[in-house]
Amino acid sequence: MYEDHSMKRVHILRGHTVSPGYAEGTALVTRLPLSFHGVSMERETGIVRWKGHELEGKSVKDMIVVMDTGRGSTGGSWALYSLKTVYGTAPKGIVCRKADPITTAPAILAGIPMVDKLDQDPCEVIRTGDYVKVDATRGIVEILKADG
Protein backbone atom coordinates (compact mmCIF):
# COMPACT_ATOMS: atom_id res chain seq x y z
CA MET A 1 0.00 0.00 0.00
CA TYR A 2 1.52 3.32 -1.05
CA GLU A 3 0.67 6.69 0.51
CA ASP A 4 1.98 10.17 -0.02
CA HIS A 5 3.96 11.24 3.03
CA SER A 6 6.17 14.36 2.98
CA MET A 7 6.90 13.79 -0.72
CA LYS A 8 8.28 10.34 0.12
CA ARG A 9 6.85 7.00 -0.79
CA VAL A 10 5.68 5.23 2.34
CA HIS A 11 5.26 1.52 2.50
CA ILE A 12 3.59 -0.31 5.37
CA LEU A 13 4.28 -3.93 6.31
CA ARG A 14 2.29 -5.82 8.91
CA GLY A 15 3.68 -8.70 10.89
CA HIS A 16 4.24 -10.24 14.26
CA THR A 17 5.77 -9.01 17.53
CA VAL A 18 8.97 -10.78 18.52
CA SER A 19 10.34 -8.23 20.99
CA PRO A 20 7.99 -5.35 21.82
CA GLY A 21 8.98 -1.67 21.64
CA TYR A 22 9.39 1.12 19.09
CA ALA A 23 12.44 2.24 17.12
CA GLU A 24 13.18 4.19 13.97
CA GLY A 25 16.33 4.60 11.94
CA THR A 26 18.16 3.81 8.72
CA ALA A 27 17.88 0.31 7.32
CA LEU A 28 20.81 -2.08 6.86
CA VAL A 29 19.53 -4.99 4.80
CA THR A 30 20.79 -8.51 4.17
CA ARG A 31 18.99 -11.47 2.65
CA LEU A 32 21.34 -13.76 4.54
CA PRO A 33 21.22 -14.92 8.16
CA LEU A 34 23.30 -12.76 10.53
CA SER A 35 25.05 -13.52 13.81
CA PHE A 36 25.69 -10.90 16.49
CA HIS A 37 28.25 -13.10 18.27
CA GLY A 38 31.97 -12.95 18.95
CA VAL A 39 33.82 -13.92 15.79
CA SER A 40 31.01 -12.69 13.51
CA MET A 41 30.75 -9.20 14.97
CA GLU A 42 33.18 -6.82 16.66
CA ARG A 43 31.43 -5.82 19.86
CA GLU A 44 33.20 -2.48 20.37
CA THR A 45 32.06 -1.16 16.98
CA GLY A 46 29.20 -3.42 15.89
CA ILE A 47 31.08 -4.07 12.64
CA VAL A 48 30.27 -7.35 10.89
CA ARG A 49 33.39 -9.53 10.71
CA TRP A 50 31.74 -12.59 9.16
CA LYS A 51 34.17 -13.49 6.35
CA GLY A 52 32.44 -13.26 3.00
CA HIS A 53 29.11 -12.00 4.41
CA GLU A 54 27.50 -9.29 2.29
CA LEU A 55 27.51 -6.98 5.35
CA GLU A 56 31.19 -7.64 6.16
CA GLY A 57 32.82 -4.35 7.22
CA LYS A 58 29.50 -2.57 7.88
CA SER A 59 28.32 -1.61 11.38
CA VAL A 60 24.91 -2.52 12.81
CA LYS A 61 25.22 0.26 15.40
CA ASP A 62 22.02 2.36 15.60
CA MET A 63 20.68 0.79 12.39
CA ILE A 64 17.40 -1.00 11.76
CA VAL A 65 18.83 -4.37 10.76
CA VAL A 66 16.70 -6.20 8.18
CA MET A 67 17.76 -9.84 7.79
CA ASP A 68 16.69 -13.35 6.94
CA THR A 69 17.06 -14.84 10.42
CA GLY A 70 19.62 -15.09 13.26
CA ARG A 71 22.44 -17.55 13.47
CA GLY A 72 24.88 -18.60 16.13
CA SER A 73 25.68 -20.63 19.22
CA THR A 74 23.48 -20.86 22.30
CA GLY A 75 26.47 -19.89 24.42
CA GLY A 76 27.21 -16.78 22.38
CA SER A 77 23.65 -15.52 22.68
CA TRP A 78 24.56 -12.96 25.36
CA ALA A 79 26.53 -11.02 22.72
CA LEU A 80 23.61 -8.94 21.42
CA TYR A 81 22.71 -8.07 25.02
CA SER A 82 26.28 -6.84 25.57
CA LEU A 83 26.20 -4.79 22.35
CA LYS A 84 23.20 -2.93 23.76
CA THR A 85 24.01 -2.65 27.47
CA VAL A 86 27.83 -2.45 27.56
CA TYR A 87 29.16 -1.16 24.25
CA GLY A 88 26.26 0.89 22.86
CA THR A 89 26.75 -0.71 19.46
CA ALA A 90 23.48 -2.63 19.09
CA PRO A 91 21.03 -2.09 16.25
CA LYS A 92 18.05 0.11 17.16
CA GLY A 93 15.64 -2.51 15.89
CA ILE A 94 15.51 -5.81 14.01
CA VAL A 95 13.18 -6.82 11.19
CA CYS A 96 13.50 -10.42 10.02
CA ARG A 97 11.76 -12.98 7.84
CA LYS A 98 11.68 -15.52 10.66
CA ALA A 99 12.91 -15.03 14.22
CA ASP A 100 15.17 -17.62 15.88
CA PRO A 101 15.27 -18.13 19.68
CA ILE A 102 18.99 -17.41 19.98
CA THR A 103 18.66 -13.85 18.63
CA THR A 104 15.19 -13.29 20.08
CA ALA A 105 16.21 -13.96 23.70
CA PRO A 106 18.85 -11.19 23.98
CA ALA A 107 16.67 -8.82 21.91
CA ILE A 108 13.84 -9.20 24.45
CA LEU A 109 16.12 -8.90 27.48
CA ALA A 110 17.90 -5.86 26.06
CA GLY A 111 14.62 -4.25 24.91
CA ILE A 112 15.55 -4.17 21.22
CA PRO A 113 12.30 -4.04 19.20
CA MET A 114 12.03 -6.95 16.77
CA VAL A 115 9.36 -8.16 14.32
CA ASP A 116 9.00 -11.08 11.93
CA LYS A 117 6.49 -12.85 9.64
CA LEU A 118 5.58 -9.71 7.69
CA ASP A 119 2.98 -9.76 4.94
CA GLN A 120 5.68 -9.04 2.36
CA ASP A 121 9.34 -10.09 2.27
CA PRO A 122 11.13 -7.30 4.20
CA CYS A 123 14.46 -8.22 2.61
CA GLU A 124 12.99 -7.39 -0.81
CA VAL A 125 10.82 -4.39 0.06
CA ILE A 126 13.32 -2.58 2.29
CA ARG A 127 16.63 -1.34 0.85
CA THR A 128 19.71 -0.27 2.75
CA GLY A 129 19.39 3.46 3.35
CA ASP A 130 15.58 3.51 3.59
CA TYR A 131 14.23 5.15 6.75
CA VAL A 132 12.26 2.57 8.77
CA LYS A 133 9.90 2.94 11.72
CA VAL A 134 9.43 -0.30 13.65
CA ASP A 135 6.40 -0.44 15.92
CA ALA A 136 7.22 -3.91 17.20
CA THR A 137 4.52 -3.82 19.87
CA ARG A 138 1.86 -3.62 17.13
CA GLY A 139 3.90 -5.54 14.55
CA ILE A 140 3.91 -2.65 12.06
CA VAL A 141 6.86 -1.53 9.93
CA GLU A 142 6.70 1.80 8.08
CA ILE A 143 9.23 2.38 5.32
CA LEU A 144 10.18 5.78 3.85
CA LYS A 145 11.97 4.95 0.62
CA ALA A 146 15.33 6.66 0.26
CA ASP A 147 14.80 6.94 -3.48
CA GLY A 148 11.23 8.18 -3.04
Partner 1 sequence: MHLTDEEKQMLEGGDGEGVQQAMDFLVKLGNAFGAERMVEIASAHPAGCGYRVAGEGALRFLKWLAGTGAKVRVPATLDPICCDLERNQVLRIPDEFFQKQSQMNDAFRTLGFGFTFTCLPYWTSVAPKFGDHIAWGESNAVAYANSVLGARGNREASLTCVLAAVAGRVPEYGVHLPENRHGQILVRVETSLEDPADWRAMGAYVGKHAWDKIPVFTGLPSRISSVQLKDICGAITGPWGTMPMFHILGVTPEASDLETAVGGRVLEDVETIVFRKKEIEEAYEMMCTARLEHIDLVTVGCPYMTIEEIRTMAEVLRGKRVCKGVEFWGWTDRATRLIAERMGLVEVIEAAGAQLLSDTCMVTTPLEKSAYKFKVVATDSAKAASYVPGVGKPDVWFGTLAQCVQAALTGRWRGRTSG
Which positions lie near partner 1, rule CB under 8 A?
17-20, 38-39, 43, 49, 51, 73-79, 81-86, 99, 101-102, 104-106, 108-109
We find the least distance from the C-beta atom of residue 47 to partner 1, in angstroms, to be 13
Q: Which of 130, 139 has the CB closer to partner 1?
A: 139
We find the least distance from the C-beta atom of residue 124 to partner 1, in angstroms, to be 22
DSSP collapsed to 3 states, the chain: CEEEECCEEEEEEECEEEECCEEEEEEEECCCCECCCHHHEECCCCEECCCCCCCCCCECCCCEEEECCECCCCHHHHHHHHHHHHHCCCCCEEEECCCCHHHHHHHHHHCCCEEECCCCCHHHHCCCCCEEEEECCCCEEEEECCCC
Q: Which of 38, 148 has the CB closer to partner 1?
A: 38
59 given a catalytic annotation: no
Catalytic residue among 35, 40, 73, 77: 73
Q: Which of 39, 129 has the CB closer to partner 1?
A: 39
We find the least distance from the C-beta atom of residue 89 to partner 1, in angstroms, to be 11
Residues with catalytic function: 73
